[in-house]
Amino acid sequence: MSFLFKGKKAQVTRILFVTDMHGSEVVWRKFLNASSMMKADIAICGGDLTGKMIVPVVEQKKGRYAYYFMNQNHLIDSSQLDKAFKDIRGIGYYPYLTNESGYEEMAKNAKKVDEVFHEVMISTLKSWLDLIPQKVSSQTKVVVCPGNDDRFPVDDLVNSHKHVISGEGKVIEVDDSHEMISCGWVNPSPWKTSREEEEDKLEKRLEKYTIQLKNTETAIFNFHAPPYGTKLDDAPLLDENLNPMIQGGSVVMVPVGSKAVRKMIEKYQPFMGLHGHIHESSGSMKIGRTHCVNPGSEYAEGILRGFLIEFKGNKITRLQRIEG
C-alpha cells in the first residue's frame, strides 16, 4: 500500500546535511563527493563555511619560503609549496603568498591584514562554489546558509553564484510537500562573531522568516543555533580567559543553545530541525514531534560529519549519522 500525503503519492526525498566547515577545503570536497555518491536530492551546508585565519607564506632569498604553522616555523623551497598550501587549507586556514615587504606591511597595519583576509576568503569560497558542477549532479540542489562566523560579504557571493542556492531568510522548496527556511544568526556567545543577537531579536527574526512558509507542520527549520537544553547544544563552560573549566578531571559542559530557536520549534512543531554551531554536541533528538539533528564538526581534522536523512511524506525512513 502506498503512503499518501495530502492526497498525493508521497515521494522519497534524500537530504545530506553538514555544517561548520570553517574553511576546511578537505571537508568541503568530501561534502560534494558524498552528495554525489549518496545521490542526495538536496545537499545543505548549514553555516560557518569560511576560515578564521591567514597564514602568510613569505618568499625569501634563493627561492626559499618561510611560514609559521601548527606552532612551528617552516622553511621550504618552491617544490614544497603545493603541499604546504594543501596542509594549511586542510585545517581551515588560508595560505597567503607574499614577500618580505608585504609581510612587514601586514605586521604593522591591521587594516591591511583585514583586506588580505577578505580577499583570500572570498576568492577561496568562490573556488569552492565553482567545484559544484564538477562534483555534483545537476539534479541535486546545493544550499548554503552563511553562519555566525561568516562575514557579510559572503552573502553577496553566495547570492550571486549560479551553482548554489542561498538559504538565509528564504523559503526553499525541498520537494512537493516540504519547504525549508534557514537562519545563520545565533544567540550571543563569548566570541562576539558577525551574526549574533539577543534572544528577543533572534526570535523576531525567526518569526519574520517563518511566516513566509505555507505550512509549518511540514517545514524544515535550518537554524544554525541548536535549541537550548537539548544535548545538541552542550559546550565547555569557560572561565574569564575563555579557557574550559575542569572539575573532577573532566571538562564542565553546559547548554549554550538558543532559547528562541527552542521556542520556535515548540510553537510550530516543524517536521525537522537542522542545526550546528556547537561542534562538541553531535546527535539527534525530538522536541515534541520535531526531529532535530546536529552533526557536530571535526573540520580541523579534515573529517566530514553529517546526517543522511530520507523521508517519505511526513515519515522519516532513514536518519543516519555519517562520518569520514
CATH code for the domain of 20:
3.60.21.10
Q: Chain-wide mean pLDDT for the chain?
A: 95
**Residue 151 shares a structural domain with residue 63:** no
**Which amino acid is it at 230?**
T
Q: What angle do CA 51, 54, 59 make, to 5 degrees?
A: 150
Residues 278 and 200 in one domain: yes
Q: Is 39 a domain residue?
A: yes
| 196: pLDDT strictly greater than 90 | yes
Strands 12-18 and 305-312: antiparallel
Residue 3 is assigned to a structural domain of this protein = no
Question: Parallel, antiparallel, or unpaired for β 72-77 and 4-5?
Answer: unpaired
Give the model's pLDDT for residue 3: 30
- For residue 119, is it within any domain? no
Residue 117 lies in a domain: no
Task: Please state the domain count of the chain.
Answer: 2
Name the phi and psi angles at 141, rounded to 5: -80, 130
Instruction: Compute the distance between CA of residue 45 and CA of residue 222 in angstroms, rounded to an integer.
Output: 10
Q: Is the pLDDT assigned to residue 10 strictly greater than 50?
A: yes
By percentage, how much of the chain surpasses pLDDT 70?
97
Half-sphere exposure of 58 (CA within 13 A, CB side): 16
CA nearest 158: which of 195, 116, 126, 127? 126
Is residue 314 in some structural domain?
A: yes
Cell of 207: 518569526
Based on the domain organization, do 225 and 85 belong to the same domain? no
Q: How far is Cα 73 from Cα 257, in angstroms, rounded to an integer?
A: 38
Provide the pairing of β-strand 54-59 with 64-69: antiparallel
**Domain match, 245 and 97 both:** no
Express each pLDDT in 243-257 by its tens digit.
999 999 999 999 999
pLDDT, mean of residues 9-36? 94
- Would you state the pLDDT for residue 6? 43
The pLDDT value recorded for residue 323 is 96
* Longest distance between any two alpha carbons in the chain, whole Å: 75
Task: Determine the pLDDT at residue 180.
Answer: 98
Residue 68 and residue 216 in one domain? no
Same domain, 17 and 38: yes
Let me know if residue 237 belongs to a domain. yes
Residues 139, 82: Cα–Cα separation, whole Å: 33
Average confidence (pLDDT) over 4-31: 84
**Alpha carbon distance 218, 212 (integer Å):** 13
Q: Which domain holds residue 92?
A: 54-108
The answer to whether the CB of 129 falls within 8 A of the CB of 135 is no
Taking the mean position of all CA atoms in its chain, how far away is CA 216? 23
pLDDT confidence bin for 11, thresholds 50/70/90: confident
Q: Mind listing the pLDDT tens digit for each residue in 118-138?
A: 999 999 999 999 999 999 999
Q: Is the pLDDT of residue 286 over 60?
A: yes
**96 plus 159 within the same structural domain:** no
Q: Are residues 76 and 192 in the same domain?
A: no
The pLDDT of residue 5 is: 36
According to the model, what pLDDT value does residue 9 have? 56
Q: For residue 156, is it within any domain?
A: yes
Residue 208 and residue 155 share a domain: yes
Same domain? For 44 and 96 the reply is no
Are 83 and 171 members of one domain? no
Q: What is the average per-residue pLDDT within 106-128? A: 96
Q: Are 76 and 203 members of one domain?
A: no
- Does any domain span residue 4? no
